[in-house]
Structure 1
Amino acid sequence: MVPRENAQEALTAKVARTEGKHSPFEDAVRTLPIPVCSVFFDTQQRLAQAAFQATDIAVAGGKRQESLAAFPLTRACNQEAVLEAIPGDFATKPSGKRVAVLFSGGPAPGGHNVLVGLKAILGDGNVLLGAKRGTKGLFSGDFVEITANDAHAIFNTGGFDFLGTDRTKVKTPEQFASVKETIVKHQLDGLIIVGGDDSNTNAAFIAEYLLREKVACCVVGVPKTIDGDLAIGSLLPTSFGFDTATKVYAQLVGNLNKDSASAIKYWHFVKLMGRTASKITLEVALQTKPAAALISEEIYEKGMSLDQVVDHLVQIITERRLKGINYGVVLVPEGLVEFIPEMRQLIQELNKVLAEYDRDIRDLPTLKNKQEFIYPVLSPASAQLMASLPEDIQEMLILERGDHGNVKVSQIETEKLLIEKVRYKLSQMKRHTDRYFGSGEGKIDIPEVQIEAFKAVTFATQAHFLGYEGRCATPSTLDRAITFSLGMAAGSLVLAGKTGYMAAITDFDRGGRILALPLSGLITSELRKGKPELVIEKSLVDLASPAFRFFVQHRDRWAKEDLFSSPGPNQYWGPTCNQVPISVAFNQGYMDFANLSLGEEHDIRELLSLEEP
């Protein structure tokens, strides 16, 4: 036993050793085994490049005429047929290849394992380069070679910090020429783009451009986004990052469920990341069973107004209050306001007004002056709606603008907007009880004593936004496994000379199935910012899906009673570490959400002969 007088020195040394990403937890997760699909092993159980065979599955997005014309060379190469990985039977492993990889867009848990998977397949006979700062690094040729020691250091860790990322897209002729110049200069045989729907759209255009320019470089995409909006039915149940992020948010929402029931006074309004799809909100709701969860796609489908959304929440709060349950949690998707038709119309009109009268509005000294100028040039309905919004929200809509002068929709504090609108409606109910309580259509028929009890309760709230907390978390078992396999799949595609594909993995409950989806077949024409654009279609919450139907069947009970769950933190060891997203399990027809099966577990350090640096 160390004497007390020497304890401080020993403790100091141990704490110092945790610097540089070496906390006990980080060091432990680097040693965790992960499931690996059997297709990546040869007959001697060594990691090996997979081969690919065509399936009878073809993918084709909607509004095809424009996309057909945009990718003639890629389509001629892949015929838009899905490829399936099979065990390779190669006498010799390809060598001398130079492959670059970059991260694009926001970070998501598991990205580092994509790099490790690539390194595993390419081996020492080929060179793996990482572009620093995403597409910017590709333009400038700012590469770093990824070594076996690097693979050990980043294995199973969260974040994109090893390379960095950025949101620059390749769109102009000059940018495409810059990509070509970098590829030729560095003699690249492959380019792997790890990103979401926009980044993989970029990969499709780069692949076509390089074919047209007769540059022999394979371009492969890897699907990433915590939002879950890059999914292709049973071919790609979800992108990597979604599982970990929703587990992080579910833990925090579960804590708030407990807090609200413990303090017995707070309503927690929680905005969850997901500008377009409400998949995060749906998944977190399935895991935590809150008092209320709003799904943007449903609100849009029903054509609900902002007041109707508020009335829905007020009804839940009132029913719980009358039962003595004066607390709860409300989940709000980040992009909600854009799915409320009248709010979308208001934002479109504001964008037009702010552009047309930019100088006039900027020169007005006060917010009130600006409001008095703007209201008359809006349609009567939009002017009335804007006037009903809290003052700080109006100020944000007028003053906070993006690079193109438009309203910054993503920065609207929707959770606070709803809090203030609900607070106002509840205060109206208190002041005018005769309008809302008593006998008659639309009124709540309760005794006078309950009305007085209702009036006595204060609407105490807390607002939260959960987003960045989940983007760089240590990846879950699912995300650690699928990212490693996606990296190996992408590397195998490059070694096989395949271009214009996105690596995919499915069948999370049956050992995993590795696919390659033709990017050109995923492209469709959509209106973006009022103009048609060729993109990979975002996957939204399907209102006919089993996951959403389960939510609809149970949410009324969650609203009327305390049936919440607190799922706890993401688990890396033990009986609950093999869970997949509940929504994915429902929609893919799995029998269980806690029975991940992606192959036998392997110690990657042994497979790669890695030694701790």
Structure 2
Amino acid sequence: MDACKALKLDGLVDSQLISNLCTDALSAEKYYYFVRLMGQKTSHICDAVEARAKQEKYHGVILLPEGLIESIPEVYALLQEIHRFLRQGVSVDKISTQLSPWASALFAFLPSFIREELLLYPESDDSAQLSQIETEKLLAVLVEAEMNKRLKEGTYKGKKFTAICHFLGYQARGSLPSKFDCDYAYVLGHICYHSLAAGLNGYMATVTNLKDSLSKWRCGAAPITAMMAVKDHGRASGAMMIGKPAVHPATVDVRGKVLLRKNANKFLMDDVYRNPGPLQFDGPGADSRTVSLYIEDLDYMGRIKELNVYLDKVRSIVKPGCSQDILRAALSAMSSVTDILSVMSSSSNGSI
């Protein structure tokens, strides 16, 4: 749904700050910015630095989600051990001596500042305090060490690698809403009013066709439960597993974005920077949209094919001879999907 891809305030501020860093990096041409953002998904670094150096480019901006540290399997397993000891009341200064051999080796390898941050007491869902872990600094240290190693070995012949670290966290949410944000919020409130008037409860307001003018937006509502799954969190030894309902995150699938996929190497090697500048409430820039909204329809047929693949998988699994559990699960899921699509398709016939 386009509603999931609306320009949010924190993203707007981040884009402004990051674009400023891009401009500065391009101006100085001598260092890389490592910028940690609030998020979960990951990407990669050292080979890109070396490849850019071959083109006499010794600068760049590397965006790192704060969830990167937990997405590394070895570090995640280390965190699980640390959290277990913390919940058992083991003092912080004794945890390192009680780790398993492989976890102890990894813990000893990490810089001291990261070791201290990994020992922080976990959140209520047993996840690490990601905002307190300086992942960007860790990556900068490791990349610098690797580039120095390559420099000594002769495989890297560029200038000395230099990094500057930043963390763009909750301060990114301090922006005034843009004109788009105001229109979007007003429309969502309008949908909520009509949903309540229709007696709908437990529904989420949705807006589609956001890339077009306000008069062409399409309104709808979808059951929240149909978009949720039960997420199992870690448990202490002997404790009962407790699942918590959570809405599926809407991530950006780079493989499904024609513009991003076709230009991946260009974005990596060239200085393709776009500076949105400050908010505009009037004039030519007031109705600007985030780029992701414009490229959403570029791979329309590709997504239709992807849907057909899923439908074929369902047909191959749910057929005479399948278990009752599989049949019930399929009926429940398909019922929810058709309910959502029915609501959205009926609302798409009218405008605001």
The bucket for the TM-score relative to the shorter chain is: 0.7 to 0.9
Alignment match, 1:408: 129
**Partner of residue 51 from structure 2, selected from 313, 319, 329:** 319
- For residues 47-104 of structure 1, what are the alpha-carbon distances to aligned partners after superposition, in whole Å with 9 as ceiling and x for unaligned? xxxxxxxxxxxxxxxxxxxxxxxxxxxxxxxxxxxxxxxxxxxxxxxxxxxxxxxxxx
**Partner of residue 31 from structure 2, selected from 254, 266, 269:** 266
Instruction: Determine which structure has greater relative contact order: mean sequence separation of CA pairs < 8 Å that are 6+ residues apart, divided by chain length.
Output: 1
Tell whether 2:334 aligns with 1:334: no
Aligned partners of 1:382, 1:538: CA distance in 2, in Å? 30
- For residues 532-563 of structure 1, what are the alpha-carbon distances to aligned partners after superposition, in whole Å with 9 as ceiling and x for unaligned? 222322222335422xx532432322332333
**Partner of residue 514 from structure 1, selected from 206, 219, 225:** 219
Whether contact under 8 Å (1:269, 1:419) holds in the other structure is: yes
The residue identity in structure 1 corresponding to 2:201 is T
Tell whether 2:104 aligns with 1:383: yes
Aligned partners of 1:507, 1:566: CA distance in 2, in Å? 25
Aligned partners of 1:467, 1:262: CA distance in 2, in Å? 25
- Pairwise CA distance, 1:512: 1.0
- For residues 177-196 of structure 1, what are the alpha-carbon distances to aligned partners after superposition, in whole Å with 9 as ceiling and x for unaligned? xxxxxxxxxxxxxxxxxxxx
Aligned partners of 2:263, 2:106: CA distance in 1, in Å? 32
- Pairwise CA distance, 1:387: 1.9
Task: Calculate the TM-score normalised by the size of structure 2.
Answer: 0.74
Residue aligned with 1:425, SS: helix
Does 499-508 or 397-406 show the bigger shift?
Answer: 397-406
Alignment match, 1:238: 4
- Pairwise CA distance, 1:399: 4.1
Q: 1:374 to 1:265 in 2, by over 3 A?
A: same
Alignment match, 1:535: 246
Aligned partners of 2:290, 2:282: CA distance in 1, in Å? 17
- Pairwise CA distance, 1:402: 4.3
Residue aligned with 1:268, SS: strand
The residue identity in structure 2 corresponding to 1:321 is A
Aligned partners of 2:230, 2:65: CA distance in 1, in Å? 25
Aligned partners of 1:551, 1:590: CA distance in 2, in Å? 11
Whether contact under 8 Å (2:219, 2:351) holds in the other structure is: no
Tell whether 2:17 aligns with 1:252: yes
Alignment match, 1:557: 266
Alignment match, 1:504: 206
Report the number of matched residues: 294
**Partner of residue 164 from structure 2, selected from 449, 456, 462:** 462
Residue aligned with 1:503, SS: strand
- Pairwise CA distance, 1:413: 1.1
Aligned partners of 2:58, 2:67: CA distance in 1, in Å? 27
Aligned partners of 2:24, 2:13: CA distance in 1, in Å? 17
Aligned partners of 2:223, 2:120: CA distance in 1, in Å? 43
Q: 1:486 to 1:380 in 2, by over 3 A?
A: same
Matches within 5 A, 1:451-490: 451=157, 454=158, 457-490=159-192
**Partner of residue 492 from structure 1, selected from 173, 186, 194:** 194
Aligned partners of 2:184, 2:126: CA distance in 1, in Å? 40
Unaligned runs of 5+ in 1: 1-233, 279-295, 300-308, 363-369, 438-443, 445-450, 592-597, 601-613
Aligned partners of 1:581, 1:422: CA distance in 2, in Å? 32
Matches within 5 A, 1:60-459: 234=1, 236-238=2-4, 242-274=7-39, 276=40, 278=41, 296=42, 309=44, 313-356=45-88, 358-359=89-90, 361-362=91-92, 370=93, 373-399=94-120, 401-402=122-123, 407-430=128-151, 432-433=152-153, 436-437=154-155, 451=157, 454=158, 457-459=159-161
Tell whether 2:244 aligns with 1:523: no
Aligned partners of 2:67, 2:248: CA distance in 1, in Å? 17
Sequence identity of aligned pairs in percent?
29
Aligned partners of 1:486, 1:478: CA distance in 2, in Å? 12
Counting helix residues as a fraction of each chain, which structure ranks higher? 2
Aligned partners of 1:324, 1:520: CA distance in 2, in Å? 53
Aligned partners of 1:574, 1:340: CA distance in 2, in Å? 46
Alignment match, 2:283: 574
- For residues 3-27 of structure 1, what are the alpha-carbon distances to aligned partners after superposition, in whole Å with 9 as ceiling and x for unaligned? xxxxxxxxxxxxxxxxxxxxxxxxx
Computing the radius of gyration over CA atoms, which structure comes out larger, 1 or 2? Answer: 1
Aligned partners of 1:273, 1:550: CA distance in 2, in Å? 24
- Pairwise CA distance, 1:400: 5.2
The residue identity in structure 2 corresponding to 1:336 is L
The residue identity in structure 2 corresponding to 1:587 is E
The residue identity in structure 1 corresponding to 2:112 is E
Q: 1:485 to 1:405 in 2, by over 3 A?
A: closer
- Pairwise CA distance, 1:337: 1.4
- Pairwise CA distance, 1:416: 0.8
Q: 1:468 to 1:405 in 2, by over 3 A?
A: closer
The residue identity in structure 2 corresponding to 1:237 is A
- Pairwise CA distance, 1:375: 4.1
Q: 1:498 to 1:558 in 2, by over 3 A?
A: closer
Whether contact under 8 Å (1:243, 1:580) holds in the other structure is: no
Whether contact under 8 Å (1:350, 1:407) holds in the other structure is: no
Alignment match, 2:313: none
Aligned partners of 1:519, 1:410: CA distance in 2, in Å? 28
Residue aligned with 2:4, SS: coil
- For residues 285-304 of structure 1, what are the alpha-carbon distances to aligned partners after superposition, in whole Å with 9 as ceiling and x for unaligned? xxxxxxxxxxx2xx5xxxxx
- For residues 500-521 of structure 1, what are the alpha-carbon distances to aligned partners after superposition, in whole Å with 9 as ceiling and x for unaligned? 2212111222611111212232
Task: Calculate the TM-score normalised by the size of structure 1.
Answer: 0.44
- RMSD across aligned positions (CA): 2.9
